[in-house]
Structure 1
Amino acid sequence: MASRLVSLPGMRAVSLGGSRARGTHRPDSDWDLGLYYRGTPDVAALTALASEVQGSPAEVAGPGGWGPWVNGGAWLTVDGGAVDWILRDLDRVEAVWSDCREGRFEVGVQAGHPLGFWSPAYPGEVALCHVLADPGGELTALRHETVAYPEPLRTALVEASWEAEFSVANARKSASADDPLHVSLCLSRAVGVLAQSLHAHHRTWCLNEKGALAAVSGMPDTPAGFAARAGEVLRCLDGEAVERAAELVRDVRSVLAAGEADHT
């Protein structure tokens, strides 16, 4: 499938990503294929190939069809298994990688990413993928670059942990006003920011919210019981949960500050 995809206009490389690339998949896990293109991909040609490999009519969303960051693709069923095609603009991925090396990142609104799409996920996907087809060697060369986590990005994401403290402060006000929606959003945001900062502290790519708590909990400098404590915070959503969240934020930021002092 990968070799046929890269023969289509605009397509430059295909990778295997997700849990199957990282070796954390279950038997029923999806097969996530990153379809890297330059310019404008031929959506009609992609649709024809998708329909052929699925054995029934398929729909392919072109660039922008799924949103600004996860910007298109297809959900297919092939030989009884789920195969996801995910479009990636290689020019944009390279631009984001350049920003990351300078310590710049952004968080955008994206369906399927309730805590937002963190732009370092683009180079992180490349770093953790298996390249399946890459006639020009472009994705392979980029993968070699992204294996080393950029120190400026590490510093920027660690410093971003201030937002977790701010979110907990906002949750504290809303908890006393019996506003569970705002409390839940603030506390989820706080925990998500801490997970991003801890991943960066450990120089580990964080691609999305899925599995982020479990992954970071096993890392050396993460405060003991981080995932369990975060789970308690997110289950209760009351004033007591806010104070537990504040304690968790203090513990994580203390670890991050000590790490930055050692690094300096």
Structure 2
Amino acid sequence: MAGRLAEVPGVVGVLLGGSRARGEHRPESDWDLGVYYRGGLDLAGLRALAGPDVEVAGPGGWGPWVNGGAWLQVDGVAVDWILRDLDRVEQVWADCREGRYEVGVQAGHPLGFWSPCYAGEVALGQVLADPRGELTALRRRTETYPEPLREALTAGAWEAEFLVDAAAKGATGADTLYVSLCLSRAVGVLVQAMFARDQRWCLNEKGALAVAETLPCAPTGFGPRVRSLLGTPGETAQLLAVTVAEARVLVEETLTALRSHAE
């Protein structure tokens, strides 16, 4: 399939991503194929390859970051095509090397789409089809985690403290939704910083906590404490205040750990 995709005009190459590329898959895991294109993309060619019963979303069809693609069933196995604009991926990689990143709104990413994911997908993926060698060359470059990006993401952990302060205000009004959102994002920001401190690519929220709690900079009991905080934040102002107080301690411990591992 990757070879046939690479023959579609506009497609530069195909990369296996997700859990299967990393060897972390389960038997029922999807096959994620990153379809990297440049310039005009022959959507008619993709649709002909996908078949008449499959809807292929063109660039932008699934949102600003997860560009588009298709969901297929091949002999009972789920196969996802995920479009990636190679020019944009290379620009994001250039930004990463300069310590720049952005977090965008994207369906399916409740904590936002963190732009370094583009580079991380290439670094952690497996090249399946690459007629001109462009994906292979980019993958080789992304194998080294950029120090400026490491510094920027760890420095960005300050937002977790700000979010806990905001959650405390929400707790006084028994605003469970607002408190839960603040604390979830605070944890997400910390996890991104922890991955960066360890020079690991964090691709999305899914499974990130399970990895983060094993990292050298994780405070004692980081995983269980996060699960307790987010699992039952409370419904009353009093209970929410207790949750926020516990979150504040965890955030402070994590920031201290991040600083100590930087020295």
The yes-or-no answer on 1:64 pairing with 2:60 is: yes
| 1:217 CA drift (Å) | 1.1
User: 1:200, 1:128 → 2: CA distance?
Assistant: 15
Displacement after TM superposition at 1:224 (Å): 1.8
Measured in 1, the distance between the counterparts of 2:39 and 2:223 equals: 42
Aligned-pair CA distance for 1:219 = 1.5
User: Which of 197, 200, 219 is residue 196 of structure 2 equivalent to?
Assistant: 200
Percent identical among aligned pairs is 64
Q: Which one of the candidate residues 108, 113, 120 is aligned to 1:112?
A: 108
Corresponding residue number in structure 2 for 1:253? 255
The structural deviation recorded for 1:77 is: 0.6
Query: How far has the Cα of 1:70 moved from its partner?
Result: 0.2
Question: Structure 1 residue 31 and structure 2 residue 27: aligned?
Answer: no
Instruction: Quote how far apart the aligned CAs of 1:220 are.
Output: 1.9
Please list every run of 5 or more consecutive structure 2 residues that lacks an aligned counterpart in the other structure.
234-239
Q: Report the alpha carbon displacement of residue 27 of structure 1 after superposing the two structures with TM.
A: 0.3
From 153, 158, 168, the equivalent of 1:157 is 153
SS of the aligned residue for 1:13 comes to strand
Task: Name the aligned partner's letter for residue 49 of structure 2.
Answer: L
SS in 2 for 1:115: coil
TM-score by length of 2: 0.96
Equivalent in 113, 120, 128 of residue 124 of structure 1: 120
Q: Which amino acid aligns with 1:65?
A: G
AA aligned opposite 1:104: R
Write the letter of the residue equivalent to 2:40. T
The residue type equivalent to 2:18 in the other structure is G
In the alignment, what sits opposite 2:81? Answer: 85
Instruction: Give, in angstroms, the shift of residue 236 of structure 1.
Output: 2.3
Q: Take 1:256 and 1:221, find their aligned partners in 2: how far apart are those partners? A: 6
AA paired with 1:241? T
Task: Please give the TM-score of this superposition, normalised by the length of structure 1.
Answer: 0.96
Runs of 4+ in 1 over 4 A off after TM superposition: none
**What is residue 208 of structure 2 aligned with on the other side?**
212
Check if 1:180 corresponds to 2:182: no
Amino acid at match of 2:70: A
Alpha-carbon distance in 1 for matches of 2:87, 2:65: 13
SS in 2 for 1:110: coil
Instruction: Give per-residue Cα distances to partners, 1:22-73, cap 9 Å, x unaligned.
Output: 111100000000000000211111011011xxxx511100000000000100
* Counterpart AA for 1:125: E
Give the whole-Å Cα distance in 1 for the aligned partners of 2:167 and 2:175. Answer: 9
Q: CA RMSD in A?
A: 0.8
Aligned to 1:46: 46
**How far apart are 1:235 and its partner, in Å?**
1.6
Q: Output the amino acid matched with 1:212.
A: A
Question: Aligned to 1:113, what secondary structure does the other structure show?
Answer: coil
Return the offset for 1:258. Answer: 1.4
Once the two structures are superposed, what CA deviation does each residue of 1:162-187 show, in whole Å capped at 9, x if it has no partner? 11110111001101101111111100
Alpha-carbon distance between aligned partners in 2 of 1:80 and 1:230, rounded to the nearest angstrom: 37
Give the secondary-structure state (helix, strand or coil) at the position aligned to 1:36.
strand
Q: Describe the SS at the equivalent of 1:32.
A: strand
